[in-house]
Structure 1
Amino acid sequence: MALILFNKPYGVLCQFSPEPNGPPRQTLADFIEHPGIYPAGRLDHDSEGLVLLTDDGRLQARITDPRFKLAKTYLVQVEGDPDDAALEPLRRGLMLKDGPTLPADVRRIDPPALWPRDPPVRFRKSVPDCWLELTIREGRNRQVRRMTAAAGLPTLRLLRWRIGEWTLEGLAPGEWRAGVTARA
């Protein structure tokens, strides 16, 4: 059984083959040569961070199936300067077009020491921004971005830092390492 932890760079498609009619973009195949593995979940091309890949269907299901409620932690740069009251809708759960979300754990954090993003996030002097650490236990399409937008805090940069016990610690963008599958 293989488990790979990969730090997906901004702009990379979370799949091994390119989009047939889309613009040319890098894919997982540009970084990982390990036959028979597949991503357990996805990150959009404009999101960065931890992607787990495995050749074990049961582990893949345990990581991605919402009924297991595996925690996924994101570092999110948002537009705005929210206080605790502004974060409360995220903590309670929000109504999105596809239904209510589960409550998220969220807190403000100091700007993390991350690599520069290419292209950089657009900076506007007249609009404040801040960083949040946000943990969800489900994984809908673009969920974190939709949740922050619904709370009036549009996402500027999104990086998945942790999935369950696995973290991005020590992995630069585009790097991968074998992981341990003792606990999911």
Structure 2
Amino acid sequence: MAGRILVQARDPAKLSMDIQNAIEERRFNDTWKFYEQHIQMENFPRKSVVSKLLTSFVESLDVQWLEKAYGLVEQAFEEAPRAYLAVELILEISYLFQDGMVDPRKKSNAPLIAMKPNNTAVNIALAGCLLFGTTRKAEQLLDMMPRVGVKFDANLLIVMAHIYSGGTGLKSMGVEL
């Protein structure tokens, strides 16, 4: 018997929105389902989404959701935490700069502009991703770079080549730790 298998492609940004909507509507079963789909697709959602998810689960005071929140925190600490956190921090800050949302002419934006990611920060975060095998986060960072005005340099191009060639880490680049 021939049968069809339907595969539904999901967009990570759409899943993040689904998570946030389910949180706001206090549909925690749906929230958890969307979260698990996101994890299967590309690992953790953005830090702000995970924060809302944890907060809502804890505020529910329901044992089931408290246990889920605890498990989620444990899971986050088991991943390559430093590389993941570095990329998440850069991505969160970058979201503020994408598409010229921050006006550099305003004095009130000076502290934020001082935090704008540069090549060095991106290179370090990407090398950490390569070292710990979190290539999906590295791809997100690479996608964000042109939108915030971070220019490509020679070091970045080398790291990008290793990420896209399926390099197994910095050891494939001859770097020993």
Taking structure 1 as the reference length, the TM-score comes to 0.28
More helix by share: 2
Q: Greater relative contact order (Cα 8 A, min sep 6): structure 1 or 2? A: 1
More strand by share: 1
Taking structure 2 as the reference length, the TM-score comes to 0.29
